[in-house]
């Protein structure tokens, strides 16, 4: 069977719609056509001012196989400032050559979508990349950039720029698997946010100001959570947050921080806006609907107990305020 051409391989790589599959295909493609020993792809993770790099795929030419590395807690990821060459690559958005600790020649390439740099590709070789190879990498990354722009368009909510409900549905299986692989003390959490009395905002001020409230709430949620957390607009005035790795107290603090930031903001024309939030732990055996049902029950409780507050499904069950029925699907009864 003939070896696939570069064009065929690029075409196969950009046929992927799943981000993780795309990452693996990019690294595999470059390792196939470069005189390189090792290729690693990183995604940029941000938490406020802190910027770190999370390794998503790492492949060695001489390894029999290479899986994706286990997910590390944000604070365990290498910082951008720890490696001046990485920082130069990301901040100046250009390839940077440097030697690593093992004496191999490395070249780091920025990976971008149509808005900003979202990661970095590192190529290691014994003798260093030739100029034609560096041009090949940059050309492939430009094609990937265009492909990412199309994926972003299909996965994002057009008003707020957050991920959309369709993307949540397609990603939930991976979110559940990741949560199951995490420490029992620091699982992932799913929270549902609802803007309090949003209908009255539209009725009193018009849909233009209603849309502005949605935009500002989305912006505040982005500021409240870390780069490893995922935010979705679920529809209307509801948002979903997937909180990555948090203890029980840590999850409460994170969700309450979002509530407080919205409460303290003064919205143009509208003035004060508040949110209610219900959240639950993501279990490895959860179906998406089951997990949402639990968080929604906690949200319902929050809405009917004063609004502008957050509630944990598990803590409400423990306190006897909610009842969870055992079975294939969790049924919730409010006392």
CB neighbours of residue 76 within 10 Å: 10
Cβ 255 vs Cβ 277: under 8 Å: yes
CB hemisphere CA count around 61 (13 angstroms): 13
CB hemisphere CA count around 194 (13 angstroms): 21
Q: Which runs of consecutive H residues, i.e. helices, occur in the chain?
A: 6-13, 19-33, 84-92, 131-155, 165-181, 198-205, 207-224, 248-264, 288-303, 313-318
CA 216 to CA 147: how far, in whole Å?
A: 29
49 annotated active-site: no
CA 11 to CA 38: how far, in whole Å?
A: 22
3-state secondary structure at position 309: coil
Select which of 122, 155, 237, 293 is catalytic: 237
Location of structure tokens 């509530």: 259
Return the active site residues: 237
């Amino acid at each position: 069977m003939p070896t696939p051409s570069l064009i065929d391989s690029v075409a196969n790589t950009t046929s992927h719609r799943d981000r993780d599959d795309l990452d693996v295909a990019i690294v595999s493609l470059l390792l196939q056509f470069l005189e390189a020993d090792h290729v690693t792809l990183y995604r940029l993770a941000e938490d406020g001012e802190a910027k770190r790099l999370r390794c998503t795929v790492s492949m060695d030419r001489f390894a029999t196989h290479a899986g994706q590395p286990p997910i590390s807690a944000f604070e365990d990821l290498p910082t951008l400032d720890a490696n001046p060459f990485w920082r130069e690559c990301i901040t100046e958005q250009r390839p940077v050559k440097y030697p690593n600790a093992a004496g191999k020649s490395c070249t780091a390439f920025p990976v971008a979508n149509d808005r900003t740099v979202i990661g970095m590709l590192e190529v290691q070789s014994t003798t260093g990349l030739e100029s034609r190879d560096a041009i090949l990498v940059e050309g492939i990354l430009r094609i990937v950039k265009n492909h990412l722009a199309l994926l972003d368009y299909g996965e994002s909510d057009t008003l707020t720029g957050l991920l959309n409900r369709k993307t949540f549905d397609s990603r939930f299986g991976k979110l559940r698997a990741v949560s199951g692989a995490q420490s029992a003390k620091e699982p992932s959490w799913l929270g549902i946010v609802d803007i309090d009395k949003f209908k009255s905002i539209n009725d009193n001020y018009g849909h233009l100001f209603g849309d502005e409230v949605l935009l500002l709430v989305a912006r505040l949620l982005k500021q409240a959570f870390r780069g490893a957390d995922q935010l979705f607009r679920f529809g209307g005035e509801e948002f979903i947050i997937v909180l990555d790795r948090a203890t029980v107290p840590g999850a409460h603090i994170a969700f309450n921080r979002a509530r407080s930031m919205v409460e303290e903001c003064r919205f143009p024309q509208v003035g004060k806006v508040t949110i209610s939030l219900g959240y639950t732990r993501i279990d490895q055996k959860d179906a998406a609907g089951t997990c949402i049902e639990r968080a929604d029950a906690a949200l319902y409780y929050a809405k009917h107990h004063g609004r502008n507050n957050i509630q944990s499904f598990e803590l409400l069950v423990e306190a006897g305020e909610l009842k969870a029925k055992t079975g294939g699907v969790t049924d919730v009864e409010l006392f």
